[in-house]
């Protein structure tokens, strides 16, 4: 079966068409500036890439044009829509009602709509993508896969905030966590790759956004992001955890609105805010190696915060068997991995420096003497979405 995986953003549409018999991506792409006449599509088939300027005023127009490329007589990879067996949609927030991937029906759509206040930037475009597919391919089954679902096993004492309980009962203010599809994928892939079962694992999804997850016997028991993706470790441009009074103090002293201060914490903070260098970790690492003091300050804070969360989760798990690095930074920045692991030497963790000098490979990087195993496992959220979709539509 061929499954189309869609990730609908506010002004973008990312997609992959995956042949599940071979578990192989046969086409993928990214539609940017959706909603404007300047929209353009980057469509890839293997190593071949086409950049197509084509207005798309909404997701329906964008998806229709993508289908045209997939079925194009000259370079298409399928003959017609009937070759698409199902569609898997990435959806940010399923709240407490959706604790796993589900076949999409009107009830599911209603729940996604209910969760818009919890995911105001992401749930609306996901709904647009779903509605567009319902019009364009009404007979094709669709599945929603939620970033929050994997974390629904987190116990109450870990997901509740130390604020009056009524805010949870009235407004569902709690930790939800994100990157769940990635954390689930790499924890499952870890067992496949090693042929071993690990009871106590911390997965580190480190990219532009970043989160850690404590996994016990295959289930999430805690994660660093919270009600929103702003919480947790220091990120590229997000602040991560901080004294809540910092927010009100900034608002009072700078006369900032709620939106302005939230934008600062999400778009101008983190290692970018501390260093003033770049929102690209590679640039910050380059400056770190040159001895730039602000780059060293920002990277040191980043590395130590991640190590602190790993140690904290070792307490929650009652020990630690393995650590997994994934995401753009986790998979590729070997200096970052080394510094994080060096902060955890007191736990008996030791990496093999030579083994660690890789980018984007599945590999063990801990030494033979290390008490904790350390691995790099490249994430594949689209494949996880496709697998969930296949299991529900069979």
**Cα separation of 394 and 390, whole Å?**
6
- CB atoms closer than 10 angstroms to residue 162: 5
Contacts by 58-61, CB closer than 8 A, 24 or more apart = 58/34, 58/128, 58/132, 59/8, 59/13, 59/34, 59/125, 59/128, 59/129, 59/131, 59/132, 60/128, 60/131, 60/132, 60/135, 60/136
Give the SS3 label for residue 287: helix
83, 108, 80: which is closest to 95 by C-alpha? 108
**Cα separation of 331 and 362, whole Å?**
9
149, 131, 153: which is closest to 94 by C-alpha? 149
Q: At what angle do helices 123-136 and 59-70 cross, to 10 degrees?
A: 50
Residue 147 designated active-site: yes
**Cα separation of 390 and 387, whole Å?**
5
Query: Which among 19, 48, 147, 280 is annotated as catalytic?
Result: 147
- Quote the tokens at residue 120: 């105001």
Active-site residue list? 147
């Amino acid at each position: 079966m061929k499954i189309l995986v869609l990730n609908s953003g506010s002004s973008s549409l990312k997609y992959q068409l995956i042949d599940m018999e071979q578990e192989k991506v046969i086409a993928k792409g990214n539609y940017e500036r959706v909603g404007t006449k300047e929209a353009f599509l980057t469509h890839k088939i293997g190593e071949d890439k086409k950049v197509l300027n084509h207005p798309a005023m909404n997701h329906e127009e964008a998806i229709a044009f993508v289908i045209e490329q997939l079925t194009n007589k000259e370079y298409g990879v399928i003959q017609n829509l009937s070759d698409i067996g199902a569609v898997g949609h990435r959806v940010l927030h399923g709240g407490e009602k959706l604790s796993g991937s589900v076949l999409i029906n009107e009830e599911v759509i209603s729940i996604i709509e209910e969760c818009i206040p919890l995911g105001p930037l992401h749930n609306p475009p996901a709904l647009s993508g779903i509605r567009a597919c319902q019009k364009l391919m009404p007979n094709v089954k669709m599945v929603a896969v939620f970033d929050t679902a994997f974390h629904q096993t987190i116990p109450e004492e870990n997901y509740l905030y130390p604020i009056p309980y009524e805010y949870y009962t009235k407004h569902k203010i709690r930790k939800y966590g994100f990157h769940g599809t990635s954390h689930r994928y790499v924890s499952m892939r870890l067992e496949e790759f090693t042929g071993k079962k690990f009871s106590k694992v911390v997965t580190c999804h480190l990219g532009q956004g970043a989160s850690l997850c404590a996994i016990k016997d295959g289930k999430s028991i805690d994660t660093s992001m919270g009600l929103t993706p702003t919480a947790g470790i220091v990120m590229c441009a997000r602040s991560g955890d901080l004294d809540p009074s910092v927010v009100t103090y900034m608002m009072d002293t700078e006369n900032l609105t709620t939106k302005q201060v939230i934008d600062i914490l999400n778009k101008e903070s983190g290692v970018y805010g501390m260093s003033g260098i770049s929102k690209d970790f590679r640039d910050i690492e380059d400056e770190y190696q040159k001895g730039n003091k602000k780059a060293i300050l920002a990277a040191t804070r980043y590395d130590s915060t991640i190590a602190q969360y790993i140690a904290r989760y070792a307490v929650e798990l009652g020990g630690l068997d393995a650590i997994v690095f994934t995401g753009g930074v986790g998979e590729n920045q070997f200096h970052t991995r080394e510094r994080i692991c060096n902060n955890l030497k007191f736990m008996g963790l030791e990496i093999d420096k030579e083994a660690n000098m890789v980018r984007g490979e599945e590999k063990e990087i801990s030494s033979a003497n290390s008490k904790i195993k350390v691995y790099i496992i490249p994430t594949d959220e689209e494949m996880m979405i496709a697998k969930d979709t296949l299991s529900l539509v069979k």
